[in-house]
């Protein structure tokens, strides 16, 4: 830990005195340090929770950071790995830039509603691209945002590179407090994919969007789970074109920003030279100038529609995966209550033993009696939509799709638990209110209506194992029909009868 007045060391054991704290971030604190010759900035690196392999990678990145030299990059003079001087934490010693941050600049312009001129915008973006190109020639930044771009007179300088392993650790442990970088994280970096320069390009795209419009590209609704909301925005939201906000934005910059914000890394530029090509002057040629503005607009709209379609497909896939995870968690509730029956039986007798076996997909299980070989099986799945065939006002056949409901709540999961004799129960899970994160199971116990002459040979109580039959019965659950259904509480006693026929 650093305290004011403490001595720290630079290259060749040059000594500096800690004068004051001048900043704080997600990964540590920034101090002003001085000696008789120089004033530098010292950035501490909080390495708590970092693994041995990540620590070695951090040391390597720190060494690489020393090799980056460019007028748009803060010069790093020394990296302390935390071990050379054991009483001191890991830190970087770097040039001091005291002209404020790009974040502060954007905030000031936003308050005064003063969009940047084309010259200002091009100058800033060019400087950032040149700086990022120099950094990415050596390493990946992974924490690029306006707070890490400093002003030194009229020059922008990028800082805080060489700490991507700390970014990985903080992201993995979800300790996001005070960290700006989640607003600028590329979709693939949330999934801990391999570091690529395209991650930095995506972050730069958001910064460029803010410079061009003085707005964040994604609409956030201030939901309770802010982290999840930001993550889903990066995964699934497509920003409106910056030119629709800033009508004076050149077409080339508009296209550049939208390309940098592509969800898939391969859709972004391959390198920073390609990015810089958008900023260069158009080359004069003999091609006759033809007004194709409407064609360009059509091409952009088509590209946007394709991107929207891809994101919709990805969202659907992601939602399905999340539902499967939730179903696995919900199925454990059923398994726990059945496990109590199994454990109680096995502890009270040696006549026979019951054993539980999980299905390969971890959704459902069976309980088998060792001597008889008979079993009780629990099978679960995602609720499907209900399709209604109807006619419109012109008599044409149309389909209407809706979610199956129980007591006014959407059914999320359903299934059945039955023994080898065919006796069983249906199970369904609903979320009873908007704050219910996990939902609750209900038991449906079916038997034949005494007045029904069309009953089959299923023993009572019996489960409905086909979705269509189950969905129909839920829809008419309180009506007089072929099957009578009781709604039972989700309690251990409701399941005990299933085991009588397998012992």
Q: What is the 3-state secondary structure (H, E, C) of 478-496?
A: CCCCCEEEEEECCCHHHCH
Specify the pLDDT at position 395: 73
Where along the chain do its domains lie? 7-281, 349-499
SS3 of 240-299: the string is CCHHHCCCCCCHHHHHHHHHHCCCCHHHCCCCHHHHHHCCCCCCCCCCCCCCCHHHHHHH
- pLDDT tens sequence across 391-433: 777 777 777 778 888 988 889 899 999 999 999 999 999 877 6
**C-alpha–C-alpha distance, residues 491 and 338, integer Å:** 10
**C-alpha–C-alpha distance, residues 158 and 162, integer Å:** 11
Specify the pLDDT at position 487: 93
Low-confidence ranges of the chain (pLDDT < 50): 165-178, 282-288
DSSP secondary structure string, 124-186?
A: HHHHHHHHHHHHHTT---S--SGGGEEEETTEEEE---S-HHHHHHHHHHT--TT--GGGG--
Specify the pLDDT at position 388: 65
**C-alpha–C-alpha distance, residues 31 and 1, integer Å:** 12
Q: CA geometry: angle at 34 spanning 32 and 39, to 5°?
A: 75
Q: What are 1's two structure tokens?
A: 């830990």
Specify the pLDDT at position 46: 64
Specify the pLDDT at position 260: 96
Q: What are 208's two structure tokens?
A: 């460029």
Which regions of 26-146 does DSSP assign to beta strands (E)? 28-34, 39-44, 76-80, 91-94
- Under a CB-based contact definition with an 8 Å cutoff, are residues 461 and 468 in contact? no
**C-alpha–C-alpha distance, residues 67 and 371, integer Å:** 72
Tell me the pairing of strands 365-369 and 354-358: antiparallel
Looking at the DSSP assignment, which residues form a beta bridge with residue 40?
Answer: 33
User: Is the preceding peptide bond at 461 cis, omega within 30 degrees of 0?
Assistant: yes
Closest by CA to 67, choosing from 174, 139, 140, 159, is 139
Residue 135, CA distances (Å) to 68, 95, 158, 159 in order: 6, 16, 9, 10
Specify the pLDDT at position 276: 94
Give residues with Cβ within 8 angstroms of 175, minimum separation 6: none
| CATH architecture observed for domain 7-281 | Orthogonal Bundle (1.10)
Burial environment of residue 468 by CB neighbours within 10 A (0 to 12, 13 to 18, 19 or more):
exposed
Looking at the DSSP assignment, which residues form a beta bridge with residue 415?
Answer: 380, 427
Sign of the C-alpha dihedral, residues 312, 251, 255, 143?
negative
Closest by CA to 17, choosing from 7, 27, 26, 25, is 7
DSSP 350: S
Give residues with Cβ within 8 angstroms of 34, minimum separation 6: 16, 17, 19, 40
Specify the pLDDT at position 435: 52
């Amino acid at each position: 830990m650093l305290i004011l007045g403490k001595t720290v060391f630079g290259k060749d054991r040059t000594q500096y005195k800690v004068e004051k704290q001048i900043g704080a971030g997600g990964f540590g604190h920034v101090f002003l340090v001085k000696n008789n010759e120089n004033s530098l900035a010292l950035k501490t690196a909080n390495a708590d929770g970092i693994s041995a392999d990540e620590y070695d990678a951090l040391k390597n990145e720190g060494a690489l950071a020393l090799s980056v030299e460019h007028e748009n990059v803060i010069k790093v003079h020394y990296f302390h790995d935390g071990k050379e001087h054991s009483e001191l934490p890991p830190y970087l010693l770097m040039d001091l830039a005291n002209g404020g941050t790009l974040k502060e600049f954007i905030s000031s312009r936003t308050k005064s509603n003063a969009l940047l001129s084309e010259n200002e915008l091009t100058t800033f973006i060019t400087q950032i691209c040149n700086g990022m190109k120099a950094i990415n020639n050596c390493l990946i930044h992974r924490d690029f945002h306006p707070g890490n771009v400093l002003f030194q007179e009229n020059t922008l300088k990028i800082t805080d590179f060489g700490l991507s392993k700390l970014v990985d650790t903080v992201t993995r442990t979800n300790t996001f407090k005070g960290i700006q970088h989640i607003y600028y994280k590329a979709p693939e970096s949330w999934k801990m994919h391999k570091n690529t320069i395209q991650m930095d390009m995506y972050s730069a795209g958001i910064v460029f969007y803010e410079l061009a419009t003085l707005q964040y590209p994604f609409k956030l609704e201030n939901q309770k789970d802010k982290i999840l909301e930001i993550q889903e925005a990066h995964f699934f939201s497509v920003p409106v074109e910056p030119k629709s906000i800033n009508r004076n934005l050149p077409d080339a910059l508009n296209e550049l920003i939208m390309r940098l914000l592509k969800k898939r890394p391969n859709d972004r530029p391959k390198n920073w030279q390609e990015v810089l090509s958008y900023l260069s002057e158009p080359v004069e040629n003999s091609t006759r100038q033809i007004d194709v503005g409407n064609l360009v607009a059509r091409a952009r709209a088509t590209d946007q529609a394709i991107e929207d379609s891809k994101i919709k497909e990805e969202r659907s896939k992601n939602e399905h995966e999340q539902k499967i995870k939730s179903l696995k968690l919900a199925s454990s509730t059923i398994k726990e209550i059945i496990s109590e029956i199994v454990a109680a039986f096995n502890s009270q007798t040696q006549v026979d033993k019951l054993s539980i076996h999980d299905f390969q997909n971890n959704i459902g299980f069976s309980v088998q009696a060792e001597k008889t070989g008979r079993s009780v099986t629990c099978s679960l799945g995602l609720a499907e939509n209900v399709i209604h065939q109807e006619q419109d006002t012109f008599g044409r056949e149309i389909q209407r799709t809706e979610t199956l409901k129980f007591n006014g709540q959407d059914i999320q999961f359903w299934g059945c638990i039955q023994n080898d004799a065919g006796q069983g129960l249906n199970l369904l899970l609903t979320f009873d209110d908007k704050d219910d994160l996990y939902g609750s199971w209900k038991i449906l116990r079916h038997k034949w209506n005494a007045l029904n002459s069309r009953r089959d040979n299923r023993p009572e109580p019996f489960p409905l194992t086909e979705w269509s039959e189950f969905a129909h019965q839920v829809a008419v659950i309180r009506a007089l029909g072929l099957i009578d259904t009781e709604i039972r509480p989700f309690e251990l006693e409701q399941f005990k009868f299933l085991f009588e026929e397998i012992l």
